[in-house]
Structure 1
Amino acid sequence: MQSACKLISDTNYIRRALIVFTLLAAVATQPAAGQSFVIKDLGALPGGDYSNALGINERGQVVGYSITAGGNTHATLFENGVVTDLGTLPGGSSSSAAAVNNRGQVVGYSSTARGNQHAFLFEHGVMTDLGTLPGGSFSAAAGINERGQVAGYSSNLRGYVHASLFENGVVTDLGTLPGGDESEALGINNRGQVVGYSSTASGYAHAFLFDHGVMTDLGTLPGQNFSHAQAINDRGQVVGVSSTSSGYVHAFLFERGVMTDLGTLPGRNYSNAFGIDNRGQVVGESDAGTSPYSPHAFLFAHGVMTDLGTLPGDNFSEAVGITGRGQIAGNATSHAILWTREK
């Protein structure tokens, strides 16, 4: 578990660090290169110079975080050209929003007055602490469905982090795969199916599907040892990332018991899938795996992976979520962005 989780942790850390410290060359609304999409810069909180999108709902509301004028990171809602600071839990200084459902309920995590990090639910202008597993000090929310069920993770009394379900004031431990000691839930659909990753007896992380009280190992791409599920649609299609025989990691689609390698953009080695809609369209990022790090967002549909391009003058983009109407939320080097299909 240590090596597998560290792989994703280090990858995300490097990616985010490079996003923060690379300057955006141009800010504009432009057509995506070669595509019938327009890319819109969603901006940042007043006085801040950085924002990041992490989720989108069918109403086109985008959530994530932005740097404030004071230099703190705050959970943020992007809607109709307005960037709204969702604040923090009482006494906290930082927060981040991870997902939003079609009722406008937002979930994520925030620091607290005690300096811990707790999962939150934001609705009707109020941020509510979702708590932790019994005896735990840490939690985070990663997904929410239309029933208000929240998937995420929490530390427990023994200090391990376990995938968790937050519902009606109760935090339920979803456990781990056999032999594992830690797990995280990263997505949930409207059927209440939860996906994420868990350590295994072998010490590597594997993607899981939790359904009707049972956590199932989704395995990896052929012959490999690591996978990580990140989103699930209402048809039960799961997307994420897995190690491959080439030594790189690739985006996958898991459906009807089979994990399929989605490949990469032409000339690139790495890909990662972050979102899927109910039509089976997948979004994520693909990169050459070289320095400097410069992935491009992709849309995978009908067996074809398409480069969604970047803002003018930029060399970075990633897509994190897609709606049934084809709106795609993602990020440029320093700002959250939105792709919208041209009419």
Structure 2
Amino acid sequence: MPTGVTANFNNSPCAPTCTTTVSFSASEAAELGTTSVTIEASGGGVTHTATLQITVTPNVLSVTFTGIDYSGAMSIYALGINNNGQVVGYYSSTTSVHGYLLSGDGGSFSTIDHPSASSTIVYGISSNGTAVGSFCPITRCYLGVANGFVRVRANYTEIKAPSACSVGGQTASSPYGISSDGTLIVGSVEDCSGFQHGWLLSHGTFTTIDYPGSGQNLATGVNDAGQIVGFDWTGSGPYQGWSYSNGAFTSINYPGAASTRLQGINGAGDIVGFYTDKAGTSHAFLLSGGRFSTIDYPGATYTDAYGVNDAGQIVGSYTDASGKAHGYIAATRAVSTTSVACMLSTLTIGASTTCTVQVTGSNPAGTVVFTQDGSGSVTLSASSCTLSSGTCSVTLTGTAAGSLSVKATYAGDSHNAGSEGSASLSVVAKASASVTVSCSPSSVNVGRFTTCSVTVTGSSPSGAVTFATSSSTGVFTPANSECTLSAGACSVTYADTATASLTAVITASYTGDNANTAGSGTFSVGISKLAGTIAVGTTSSMVTNGGVTANQGTVTGVSVTITGATAANGTPVGVTTQTLSAPSAGVGTPNLTSPSYYDVLVTGITTGNAQVCISFTSASSGTTMQYWDGTTWTTASNITVNGSTVCGTIPVSALTGTNIALANQAQPVPPAPANYTILYIGAGVAIVVLVGVFLALRRRRGSTRITR
């Protein structure tokens, strides 16, 4: 059996006559090529054999290719790609070699030539646009390894490794790879003995990277985690791939290949390179998740791969049938897009908004990581979120004024390339809120309600305003002393049961919102206690299923129960009752015997009926209840007397500060006596004697007798 190939029989042993099926599986380490395999079946002293041909072929990756060609170039090579899709490499003209930058798949070319060079090659580019490469001085290259450079925003800095040989102004220190964040660079240096050694440049310090026991080395790729890939060779021997991480080397070679070169590595640890098969043909490959996959450009005689980004895009070159070299970009995963949408584009400090990420592709899964950049700042409810159906959200809260960009980075998954998206936000300071409060009427009698209105100006203020009073006997409706702003305004009602006249200072306090600071305002209300007011009770309530109850029996001896109100549930209602020593001014005198006077005011509703019950110590079966309707005294309906409690029903619409009288009805005045007397004399004969007419009777001794 070939190395790395195993056989499996589905029915062995079996009883003749029988059939079995054999299947073969090849591991990642299986040797490529065709091998003869003999199958032997033995039983009953008889042996039969059959010979099969097993061919192990590479796992070919299904990719989408985009060719890269430069107009007028004799050949072109793609050597590096960053996470923004920018591609670098070089092309050859009839006179020289030039580096280039391709802005992306289908983008535009820019030539990159070192100002002191006769030829330039660009090997790698970071995500922030820092490029590395090599150049030959204007004279010529004397050594096999050219001078190295780092290019940042069109400014070139030469790289000189400590052990590099220098001949004729050439310093052999060529960089071949740069990490995505631009902090790590790898390459090779040629010493003056003609041997090449790998190196790592990290924060200004060079470290030699040579595979143990090897002759020569090139370090060709590095990621942000410091994982390095490269290859070595000894003498004219084959290339051998290796990786280096945390101080340890690992040998990596394509199974069954004659030679292997590792050229690039991305943030996920995916490695690209190329290998030569036993027939001498070169093939590009991707090593991802421990699995090798071959990449061959259609119709090419040669394919290599030099770079891979975090989106899984691979760059390399291929040779066509005519022998001309072309570059390519290979998309190994579905292209994804990431967009960020925030509910608010402008936040005040302390305000929050929800930002939602949408990732498109081939059923994208995984996490999205958020970062921010700019003069303003926000705090995030989480630094990342997990996609569900391609979307997820975080909450942002403004912390410092200024503009900023919130970036969402999707790393991709096994089916989707990574991508990025961002949203621009502005964080502003809160507007200074101004609070104005007024009450109308500005002066009221004890127990009477006034409406206190508040206006808040600022940046479209919203939220609640809380009222307070300097008087210990003041009451607001609703009972929580709050109202909610609508178009910057709202109101409550206020009544005071003070035992003497006073001035109540009303304070309206606004707590602020996401766009406005807190603020407050005051207003003074005059409270007058009129002569004749004995006691006052005030109740703040709300309508519940058409009903309101206000029991002020311990204060004024009056309780009010309202039913049948048509106002909505939660409508604020105020009920004030008073015990009076006399009717209010302008109220007539009822036709009652020694009445007691009361006053009832209902505010907030005008519908329904109120059962008014009054504790009346003089109550009797003849006690009645009357109310002043503005022009006359009217008897309440449904009057009942239960012990010392007298109840009657009065329409709510009549209780607008209405006097109520409670007493027994006055006795009817007897008619004036008639000026005559009727006497019956005899059997039905009547004699009328007019009053004032004196009947002279002769007085006689003894009794007076009237005879017939």
TM-score band w.r.t. shorter chain: 0.5 to 0.7
Q: Check if 1:56 corresponds to 2:81.
A: yes
- The residue type paired with residue 108 of structure 1 is G
Equivalence for 2:125: 100
Number of residue pairs matched by the alignment: 264
Asked if the contact 1:221–1:242 (Cα under 8 Å) also holds between the matched residues in 2, the reply is no
- The residue type paired with residue 158 of structure 2 is D
Structure that is richer in strand per residue: 2
Partner deviation per Cα, 1:191-240 (whole Å, 9 max, x = no partner): 11111211159932111111122232112313x44101111111112121
Q: Aligned match of 1:235 in 252, 268, 284?
A: 268
Q: Aligned match of 1:149 in 164, 176, 184?
A: 184
Q: Aligned match of 1:197 in 211, 215, 231?
A: 231
1:190-229 correspondence to structure 2 within 5 Å = 190-199=224-233, 203-222=237-256, 224-229=257-262
In structure 2, relative to structure 1, the CA distance for the partners of 1:78 and 1:295 (3 Å cut) is: closer
- The residue type paired with residue 190 of structure 1 is D
Unaligned runs of 5+ in 2: 1-62, 167-171, 335-416, 421-708
Asked if the contact 1:206–1:220 (Cα under 8 Å) also holds between the matched residues in 2, the reply is no
Deviating more after overlay: 129-138 vs 71-80: 71-80
Give the structure-2-normalised TM-score. 0.32
1:286 shift after superposition: 6.0
Equivalence for 2:307: 275
1:40 shift after superposition: 7.9
CA distance in 2, matches of 1:296, 1:79: 14
1:158 shift after superposition: 3.4
Equivalence for 2:294: 262
CA distance in 1, matches of 2:329, 2:203: 37
Equivalence for 1:130: 159
1:180 shift after superposition: 1.6
Partner deviation per Cα, 1:26-82 (whole Å, 9 max, x = no partner): xxxxxxxxx9988786658xxx887654333233433334568x9443433344966
Q: Check if 1:77 corresponds to 2:101.
A: yes
CA distance in 1, matches of 2:66, 2:302: 25
1:291 shift after superposition: 5.7
Asked if the contact 2:69–2:76 (Cα under 8 Å) also holds between the matched residues in 1, the reply is no
Give the structure-1-normalised TM-score. 0.62
In structure 2, relative to structure 1, the CA distance for the partners of 1:259 and 1:180 (3 Å cut) is: farther
Equivalence for 1:299: 330
1:250 shift after superposition: 2.8
CA distance in 1, matches of 2:319, 2:117: 36
- The residue type paired with residue 106 of structure 1 is A
CA distance in 2, matches of 1:296, 1:126: 26
1:99 shift after superposition: 1.4
SS in 1 for 2:252: strand
CA distance in 2, matches of 1:73, 1:295: 14
CA distance in 2, matches of 1:182, 1:298: 30
- The residue type paired with residue 310 of structure 2 is N
Asked if the contact 2:68–2:328 (Cα under 8 Å) also holds between the matched residues in 1, the reply is no
Equivalence for 1:5: none
1:164 shift after superposition: 1.5
Taking every aligned residue pair, what percent have the same amino acid on both sides? 26
Equivalence for 1:250: 283
Equivalence for 1:22: none
Higher relative contact order (CA 8 A, sep 6+): 1
SS in 2 for 1:165: strand
1:189 shift after superposition: 1.2
Equivalence for 1:88: 114
Equivalence for 1:183: 217
CA distance in 2, matches of 1:74, 1:265: 24
1:298 shift after superposition: 7.0
Asked if the contact 1:234–1:278 (Cα under 8 Å) also holds between the matched residues in 2, the reply is yes
In structure 2, relative to structure 1, the CA distance for the partners of 1:324 and 1:156 (3 Å cut) is: farther
CA distance in 2, matches of 1:63, 1:228: 19
Equivalence for 1:171: 206
In structure 2, relative to structure 1, the CA distance for the partners of 1:225 and 1:66 (3 Å cut) is: closer
Structure that is richer in helix per residue: 1
- The residue type paired with residue 97 of structure 1 is V
CA distance in 1, matches of 2:90, 2:299: 32
Asked if the contact 2:263–2:307 (Cα under 8 Å) also holds between the matched residues in 1, the reply is yes
Unaligned runs of 5+ in 1: 1-34, 304-322, 327-343
Deviating more after overlay: 276-285 vs 54-63: 276-285
